[in-house]
Structure formats: structure tokens, C-alpha cells
Amino acid sequence: MSGLIHLLNSHGLTEDTIIKATFYGIAGLTVLFAFFVVIARNIFHSALSLAVVLIGVACAYLYLDTEFLATVQVLVYVGAIMTLFIFTIMLTADVHKKMSLKINPRVLLSAYAAALILIILIKIINAGPWLPEVKDAVPLDLAQLGRSLMTNYGLPFEVISLLSLAALVGAIVIGKTEKK
């Protein structure tokens, strides 16, 4: 064991370098799976790739020392939203058919919209400093987070829940079958 430790330390391999090295691997995988979400020929594969992407984003939060955000990301997106996605996919007919790459008939229009978004994103990213000065991460005080959600950010919080409620009611209205 001590030989291994000596070897690791003598090559300058500290925990910090390992954290950096794994970051690029995970970030690369996240982007790769994001690509799979779009190009997968099968909708179930797309959904699974999306789940991997969301886990990858949670890992990115971990690298930023925000464990709480990472946990909530996995709990809400992978645990709840992806489960619902996949559940819905399983209920659709012909899920086992190998679907071919769907070419959208409005492919030009979509490309135009995508290009516009890209330009906007580039403008926004260029507006601020690239790689801003990183301050040492402050450990997140959960009590304070909860308090500010209930006081300072009370109104946006409630508006979001109202929005979810509206979506819920909408889903029920769409899903309701007329009795005849």
C-alpha cells in the first residue's frame, strides 16, 4: 500500500488532479449521451440517454461542491421525471418497433431556429467574462436556503407551483375520455 501511495504522490497525482481528470471524462460522457438523445433511432434509448445526461449534470454540481443541488437533481429529474417519461413511453403502442431516424419535414425551419439560439447563446456567453474568478465554495446552509425560499423567494416559488398545478390539470383534461 505504501508503495502505491509513494508512486501516486511522486507522479504529482493528488486528489485534485484525479478530480480534474475524472471531470473531463464525465463531462465528455454527458455531452456524448446528450448527442445520443437526439440521434437515437429508438425513443426508449433516447429516454435512457437523457437519464444518463441528467446524472452527468448532477455530477457537474458535485464538482461545484453543491451536494444538495446534485441530490435534488437526481431525485427530481431521474427519480421522478424520467420515471414518468419512460412510463409514458412504455404505454405508447409499437414501442418495440425499431424506429428510423425521423426527418422533420420542417428541417430547414428548425435549423434556422437552432442557429438563432446558438447566436443568442454565443452573445450571452461573450457578454460576461469567460471563466470568471472562482471563489472558494461556501458550504450550503440548508436552513438558510429553506428560509429564503419561504421569505425572499416566496412569490416565485408559489408561481412555479401554480404553473405545475396548471400543467397537471391540463394533463387530466387532455387525458380524460368523454363518456358517451
Partner 1 sequence: MFTLLNLTNMITTGIAVLGFIAISAMFLIWWERKVSAHIQTRLGPMRVGWHGILQSVADAIKLLLKEDIRPAGADKLVWWLAPFFVVVPSVMAFATIPFGKTLIPKDLNIGVLYILAVSSVCVLGVFMAGWGSNNKYSLLGGIRAAAQIISYEVPLILSMITVVMYANTLSMQKIVESQSHSWNILHPNLALAGLIYITSATAEVNRAPFDIPEAESELVAGFHTEYSGMKFAMFFIGEYTNLFIISAIATTLFFGGWKGPLLPGVIWFLIKTYSIIYILMWIRWTFPRLRVDQLMGFAWKFLTPISFLNLAIAGWLLL
Instruction: Report d(CA 128, CA 26) in Å as an integer.
Output: 26
DSSP assigned state of 76: I
Among 83, 110, 152, 161, binds partner 1 (CB under 8 A): 83
Q: Which is nearer to partner 1, 126 or 177 (CB)?
A: 177
Q: Would you tell me how many other CB atoms lie within 10 Å of the CB of residue 56?
A: 18
Among 55, 56, 57, 59, binds partner 1 (CB under 8 A): 55
Long-range contacts of 75-82 (CB under 8 A, 24+ apart): 78/51, 78/54, 82/47, 82/50, 82/51, 82/54
Angle (CA) 107 77 113, round 5°: 20
The window from 5-13, 101-109, 147-155, 156-164 that contacts partner 1 (CB under 8 A) reads 5-13
CA separation, residue 138 to residues 30, 63, 67 (Å): 26, 13, 12
Site for partner 1 in 96-125 (CB under 8 A): 96
Among 27, 37, 45, 63, binds partner 1 (CB under 8 A): 45
Least distance (Å) between residue 51 CB and partner 1: 6
Extract the C-alpha cell encoding 97: 418497433
Radius of gyration of the chain (CA): 22
Q: Which is nearer to partner 1, 55 or 57 (CB)?
A: 55
Is 80 a binding residue for partner 1 by CB under 8 A? The answer is yes
The window from 33-41, 84-92, 107-115, 168-176 that contacts partner 1 (CB under 8 A) reads 84-92
Q: Interface residues with partner 1 (CB under 8 A)?
A: 1-2, 4-5, 8-9, 13-15, 44-45, 48, 51, 55, 67-68, 71-72, 74-75, 78-80, 82-84, 86-87, 90-91, 95-96, 142
